[in-house]
Amino acid sequence: MDDMMKQCREHCSMATKQMDEMMKKMTDASASNDPAKMRAALDDAQKPLTEMKGQMEQCMSMMDMMQKMGGMMKK
């Protein structure tokens, strides 16, 4: 169970870092007022968002499994 919590913590940390990087790219692109840079920033955001979604799905699965295990222990 400790491994699961460690993995969730690592996934959250990576997701936070990716979000910070994406937000900076989008802010910079918006400030440039250049449509090409704005499109590129949006395109660049798609891959990290897909990765984050996968990481969150893994964490949700782990939490569901832990919740079911906890319910079994109470019986």
pLDDT digits (tens, 9 = 90+) for 1-46: 678 778 878 888 888 888 899 899 999 999 999 999 999 998 988 8
Consecutive H or E run containing 26: helix 2-32
Contacts of 62 (CB under 8 A, 6+ apart): 4, 7, 8
Is the whole-model pTM more than 0.85?
no
DSSP state of 54: H
Domain count of the fold of the chain? 1
Domain hosting 38: range is 1-73
CA distance to 23, 25, 49, 72, per residue, from 17 (Å): 10, 13, 12, 36
Tens digits of residue pLDDT in 53-71 = 888 888 888 888 888 887 6
pLDDT at 28: 94
Structure tokens at 13: 């940390």
* Nearest-angstrom CA–CA distance, 62 and 75: 21
